[in-house]
């Protein structure tokens, strides 16, 4: 039986990690931000426990804790505080009704250096200007599912450890290596040289009908970095110029471009297929 | 200049089409349902005007109507009532703040018969048990973008003309042909015979690692129907048995399956690629 502490006073400071939850995941430099990693629901809480992030606390309703603990190795939670709360208490602390009823918080850890992330990687994604949390979360889910080794962030991307990203990624942001490339809007592209030196073939994903078919662009490549820009503006010309090829997914004439994470998933599929 | 009528009384019955908007798109057999097709925002309203659905009214803020009408052929709206309202009036009528400020409503039309939908089609999707509006909307967006000719609905799918589907599909549900196959949970699969008779090769999409690789399953096929089931349960065994092959998208071991619309988009890509 895993020990737990019942807390019935919403003001109890031991619940501060999940207080005002819409802010506690923001970076510490933002108003109200504590920079915590917040996992919700049994699948993602389980992945947080197995991740590199040091878990601080688990908070949940009695029945949710019961069923979650029945499925995990007790050694995983040996030194972690476990707080049992009612739905009403958690709603008051978190600031909204958390019907999932199971949460865990962790500290951030220092980011793995880019060079280390690239070490044994054969396929990586590089994002530029992707500010949408849902797109970043889906990207991690698809990348993890389809054998991509890491995600690198160029300039102007949203925080991958934001609570919504963690949730949409189904916890894959806690498992798949990621790192940030240095530089501003007009200079970050230079850090792509690191990838070239590591032997990566750089591929820009673009809706441009004049670009190469994805199949041709990826054929016979040993190590590939796929560059993806924001939905709408896409990659900057600066970024595309720094790559070896511009590749497109064929689209029916007069239609809209695909969702960002969907386009990337198709590229992940083609990358895998090109290696069959 | 396109004529319009200013309405400042939220009780005006001419605004009944957009009254209590969270219900007016429901099917007429449901509580509060009027079964109207509701388009939101200039892109989707424009697509509604060009669709087979007879438009009843356009409702919008002054500035939204101005900018929308500046982009369209006035002949498109010749016999359609146009009502100008303020943000406050629309919020009171619709039941929530409609910040997009431009709406159009249309009547449903009788569904095209399955035989007619299949007539010149070479690639169709067949859905079973897909109850999620967002997945259906994304499916239409991806299908239209990637050259799929039609979507057929097997048993247990949500209403494709629900307002949220129209929005998520970016109006493509108003352009891409669709039809419903007859039958219940255990009998609808028989109507797949129509597709076989029309020369379609039937492919079940499944995460089953024992299934054929999508590339092999689609290679050299002239007409293809891709069957897709709900996220989680997937296709019923009944449905899969009625198809010619079970196909999988290769996934990394120990990972989650892909989102439904994403899996389908990958299959659409492979279908197009197999015909290069």
Q: Which CATH number covers residue B130?
A: 3.40.1280.10
- Give the model's pLDDT for residue A142: 97
Angle between helices B260-273 and A260-273 (to 10 degrees): 50
Are B145 and A256 a contacting pair at CB < 8 A? Answer: yes
Are A265 and B261 a contacting pair at CB < 8 A? Answer: no
User: How many Å from the N-terminal Cα to the C-terminal Cα in chain B?
Assistant: 48
Give the rounded distance of the alpha carbon of A247 from its chain centre: 24
**pLDDT < 70: residue spans in chain A:** 24-33
Chain B residue with Cα closest to A253: B145
Q: Which of B27, B251, B28 is nearest to A172 (CA)?
A: B251
- Give the model's pLDDT for residue B29: 66
Q: Which CATH number covers residue A89?
A: 3.30.1330.30
What DSSP string runs through A52-68?
A: SS-EEEEEE-HHHHHHH
From B60, B81, B106, the end of a domain falls on B106
Number of structural domains in chain B = 2
ipTM of the complex: 0.92
- Give the model's pLDDT for residue A257: 85
Q: Which residues of B lie inside 8 Å of A (Cβ-Cβ)?
A: 138, 141-142, 144-147, 170, 172, 213, 215, 249-252, 255-259, 261-262, 265-266, 269-270, 272-273, 276
From A106, A127, A142, the end of a domain falls on A106
- Give the model's pLDDT for residue A115: 96
Question: Are the C-beta atoms of B121 and B149 separated by less than 8 Å?
Answer: yes
Chain A residue with Cα closest to B255: A145
Are B249 and A269 a contacting pair at CB < 8 A? Answer: yes
Model confidence pLDDT, tens digit, residues B76-89: 999 899 999 999 99
Residue A67 CA to residue A54 CA, distance in Å, equals 23
Q: Which of B223, B228, B220, B217 is nearest to B200 (CA)?
A: B223
Residues B39 and B137 occupy one common structural domain: no
| Residue keyed to tokens 């009612």 | A86
H helical segments located in B74-213: 87-94, 114-118, 133-145, 163-168, 193-197
Between B144, B170, B262, which is nearest A252 by CB?
Answer: B144
Q: CA quadruple A127, A133, A137, A138: dihedral positive or negative?
A: negative
Residues A141 and A37 occupy one common structural domain: no
Residues A16 and A99 occupy one common structural domain: yes
Residues B98 and B138 occupy one common structural domain: no
Are A276 and B213 a contacting pair at CB < 8 A? Answer: yes
Chain A residues close to B215, C-beta within 8 Å: 273, 276
Residue B96 has pLDDT above 70, yes or no: yes
Residues A175 and A38 occupy one common structural domain: no
Residues A269 and A138 occupy one common structural domain: yes
Domain extent at residue A33? 5-106
Residue A159 CA to residue A173 CA, distance in Å, equals 11
Are A146 and B252 a contacting pair at CB < 8 A? Answer: yes
Residue A3 CB partners (closer than 8 Å, separation 6+): A82
Residue A82 CB partners (closer than 8 Å, separation 6+): A2, A3, A4, A5, A57, A58, A59, A60, A65
What SS3 class is residue B62?
helix
Residues B94 and B150 occupy one common structural domain: no
Mean pLDDT of B30-38: 77
Are B266 and A269 a contacting pair at CB < 8 A? Answer: yes
- Give the model's pLDDT for residue A29: 65
From B106, B141, B173, the end of a domain falls on B106
Confidence of residue B35 (pLDDT cuts 50, 70, 90): confident
Chain B residues close to A231, C-beta within 8 Å: none
Residue B32 has pLDDT above 70, yes or no: no
- Give the model's pLDDT for residue B122: 98
Are B146 and A213 a contacting pair at CB < 8 A? Answer: no
Are A145 and B257 a contacting pair at CB < 8 A? Answer: yes
DSSP state of A101: -
What DSSP string runs through A197-225?
A: HTTPEEEEE---TTSEEHHHHHTT-SSEE
Give me the phi and psi of B151, to 5 degrees please.
-120, 130
* Residue A57, both tokens: 């606390």
* Residue B161, both tokens: 């003309």
Reported as type and span, the H/E element at residue A236 is: none
- Give the model's pLDDT for residue A233: 87
Q: Which of A266, A268, A273 is nearest to A249 (CA)?
A: A266
Q: Minimal Cα–Cα distance from B217 to chain A, Å?
A: 13
Q: Minimal Cα–Cα distance from B65 to chain A, Å?
A: 23
Residues A164 and A241 occupy one common structural domain: yes
Model confidence pLDDT, tens digit, residues B130-178: 999 999 999 999 999 999 999 999 999 999 999 999 999 999 999 999 9
- Give the model's pLDDT for residue B28: 66
Residues A26 and A79 occupy one common structural domain: yes
Are B262 and A261 a contacting pair at CB < 8 A? Answer: yes
Q: Minimal Cα–Cα distance from B208 to chain A, Å?
A: 14
Angle at A239 between CA A234 and CA A241, to 5 degrees: 115
Are A142 and B257 a contacting pair at CB < 8 A? Answer: no
Residues B98 and B188 occupy one common structural domain: no
Reported as type and span, the H/E element at residue A4 is: none
Chain A residues close to B41, C-beta within 8 Å: none
Question: Are the C-beta atoms of A146 and A119 separated by less than 8 Å?
Answer: no
Chain B residue with Cα closest to A268: B266
Are B258 and A170 a contacting pair at CB < 8 A? Answer: no
Q: Minimal Cα–Cα distance from A176 to chain B, Å?
A: 11
Strands B201-205 and B224-229: parallel
Residues B167 and B263 occupy one common structural domain: yes
Residues B126 and B177 occupy one common structural domain: yes
Angle at A212 between CA A210 and CA A215, to 5 degrees: 150
């Amino acid at each position: 039986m895993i020990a737990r502490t019942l807390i019935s006073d919403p003001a109890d400071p031991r619940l501060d990690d999940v207080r005002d939850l819409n802010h506690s995941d923001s970076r510490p430099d933002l108003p109200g931000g504590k920079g915590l990693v917040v996992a919700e629901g049994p699948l993602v809480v389980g992945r947080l426990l197995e991740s590199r992030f040091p878990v601080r606390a688990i908070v949940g309703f009695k029945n949710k804790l019961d069923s979650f603990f029945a499925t995990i190795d007790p050694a995983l939670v040996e030194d972690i505080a476990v707080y049992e709360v009612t739905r009403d208490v958690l709603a008051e602390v978190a600031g909204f009704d958390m019907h999932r009823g199971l949460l865990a918080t962790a500290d951030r850890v220092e980011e793995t250096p880019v060079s280390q992330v690239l070490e044994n990687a054969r396929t990586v994604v590089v994002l530029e200007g992707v500010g949408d949390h849902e797109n970043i979360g889906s990207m991690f889910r698809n990348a993890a599912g389809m054998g991509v080794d890491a995600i690198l962030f160029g300039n102007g991307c949203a925080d991958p450890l934001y609570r919504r990203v963690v949730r949409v990624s189904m916890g894959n942001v806690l498992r798949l290596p990621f790192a940030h490339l240095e530089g501003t809007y007009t200079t970050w592209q230079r850090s792509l040289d690191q990838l070239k030196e590591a032997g990566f073939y750089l591929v820009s994903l673009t809706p441009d009908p004049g670009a190469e078919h994805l199949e041709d662009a990826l054929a016979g490549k040993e190590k590939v970095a796929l560059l993806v820009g924001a939905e709408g503006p896409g990659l900057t010309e600066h970024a595309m110029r720094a790559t070896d090829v511009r590749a497109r997914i064929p689209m029916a004439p007069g239609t809209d471009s695909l969702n960002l994470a969907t386009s990337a998933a198709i590229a992940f599929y083609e990358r895998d297929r090109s290696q069959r």
